[in-house]
Amino acid sequence: MQRIIKNNEVIDETWHLLPKDATLDGISNCDDLIVPLALWRDHAHALKARDGGLGVWLDADEEAEEIGGDVEHFQVIALNFPAFTDGRNYSNARLLRDRYGYKGELRAIGDVLRDQLFYLHRCGFDAYALRADKDPYEALESLKDFSVTYQAATDEPLPLFRRR
């Protein structure tokens, strides 16, 4: 079982992340699912009618605006980082939190490494599914890498000079 970081602690993963080509066939009514955006777009009504928890995941080439009006339906929104160097979903995270008011779990998935966690947190992420070869306990420490931030962000809306 995969372990993830959520709300500053390492926990067992309980959600099922469906692949990009998933269909409604064989989906359990009770499981907690994180579905790809295409499945949500095509079958939103059926997915909302299920008994299990519902989440959606966006790839780096998909925009937060596509689910901006639907965020209240999701317990989890996962944003995929296909490569460590691909930062597009940092922007999607800020939009989901700051523009669309998403309050649920915002999870980073894909090629997620220790070095990213502090900055992901600044953009509004509160859960991290690290790359399979990385230790979540070691990565958890990176959330304390810096004690002071200068710029405003989702986690601290005031820049340092306004906090004094």
Identify the domain containing residue 47 by its residue range: 3-163
CATH number of the domain where residue 79 is located:
3.20.20.70
* Distances from the Cα of 48 to the Cα of 20, 43, 53, angstroms: 19, 9, 9
pTM score, whole prediction: 0.93
**Dihedral sign from CA coordinates of 107, 60, 121, 131:** positive
- HSE-up (13 A, CA, CB side) for residue 103: 1
pLDDT tens column, 8-62: 999 999 999 999 999 999 888 889 999 999 999 999 999 999 999 999 999 999 9
For 148, counting Cβ atoms within 10 Å of its Cβ (0-12 exposed, 13-18 middle, 19+ buried), the class is: exposed
Length of the chain: 164
Percentage, residues of the chain above pLDDT 90: 81
User: Is residue 49 classed as helix, strand or coil in its secondary structure?
Assistant: coil
- How many distinct structural domains can be found in the chain? 1
